[in-house]
Amino acid sequence: MQEKTKIYQLTYQMENVTGRVTINGFVITEMEGKVGSGTAALNPWLTGENEVKAEVTKADPSQPAAFLFGVSVKEQGDIMSTTDPGSLFSLELKDPDFSTNGKASAAKRFKSTFDFGRHLSEAGQSQESDILPYARKVHALFAKKDAEGILRESEVRINDYSKAFGGVDMKTELQRYLTEELFKAKLNPLNPAALRAVAVGPNKTIWHVFNGKDELIKAKSSDGSTLEMSVYIGLLDGKLKVVR
């Protein structure tokens, strides 16, 4: 019998906080001051030696705040509740942990069997001026609805996601999403003057690209809903690629 894929799962519960949780320097989730809970799979962002970090601020400085988060290791197919405590670890920020300016943070390192460091922490050094022309090329592929071109530039991302989730056919999944959903929506035009890239990741060698305040790829469907695709670019073996 084939061994089930391990899923490294973040869970969090929040009260009166805004902020974000990162894994190895990549934003995995953001909070906007509400009471609630959430969960996110970490697999594609793991580098073998990992750090998960929460950086939060009181949404209403006059009210108590709290933030609880943790990481669990599950098998693919297991049911995961957003209120489950982390089986690997849990960290809690209580109201007294928030400073006088309303800020608090906590971090934890952990090891994982998944290691995508070659594509995330070991990417080559590059400059924003190198990234932006390539980002324009990627946006143009979406504007032309060139599925094959997008799949070709996203090969690293596709292969890593397939491995991260137990051999799922991510190429077919991405192609279906493009042709059946994203290409049927109206793509936001590129504003070259507002195009920017932010260095992220363990060594700040991966670039998260934005079209102004929005993700590089953002579109509006006929029913008014919004479709987004984040684009992370890295220099691998001397060539720029969409790594996530």
DSSP secondary structure string for all residues of 13-68: EEESEEEEEEETTEEEEEEES-SEEEEEE-GGG-EEEEEEEEEEEESSTTS--EEE
Instruction: Pinpoint the alpha helices (H) of 32-146.
Output: 117-120, 128-143
- Take residue 91 and report the two structure tokens written for it: 């960290």
What percent of the chain is modeled with pLDDT above 90?
A: 89
* pLDDT at residue 1 in the model: 46
Task: Please choose, from the candidates 122, 113, 108, 114, the residue with its C-alpha nearest in 3D space to the C-alpha of residue 23.
Answer: 108
Distance CA 242, CA 158 (A): 9
List, by residue range, all CATH 3.10.450 domains of the chain. 123-242
Q: Position 7: which residue type?
A: I
Q: Which residues pair with 187 in a beta bridge?
A: 219
* pLDDT at residue 212 in the model: 97
Rg, Å, the chain Cα set:
19
- Take residue 18 and report the two structure tokens written for it: 């805004």
CATH number of 123-242: 3.10.450
Per-residue pLDDT of the chain (244 residues; tens, 9 = 90+): 456 789 999 999 999 999 999 999 999 999 998 889 999 999 999 999 999 999 999 999 999 999 999 999 988 766 766 677 788 999 999 999 999 999 999 999 999 999 999 999 999 999 999 999 999 999 999 999 999 999 999 999 999 999 999 888 999 999 999 999 999 999 999 999 999 999 999 999 999 999 999 999 999 999 999 999 999 999 999 999 999 9
Distance CA 230, CA 218 (A): 9
All residues at 6 or more sequence positions from 109 whose CB lies less than 8 Å from its CB, including other chains: 49, 50, 51
- The total of other beta-carbon atoms located within 10 Å of residue 230's CB is 14
* pLDDT at residue 53 in the model: 98
Q: Look at the block and give the residue holding tokens 């035009």.
A: 189
- The total of other beta-carbon atoms located within 10 Å of residue 238's CB is 6
Residue 127: DSSP 8-state: -
For strands 217-220 and 186-187, give the pairing: antiparallel
Distance CA 61, CA 75 (A): 40
- pLDDT tens digits for range 173-229: 999 999 999 999 999 999 999 999 999 999 999 999 999 999 999 999 999 999 999
CB–CB of 80/39 below 8 Å?
yes
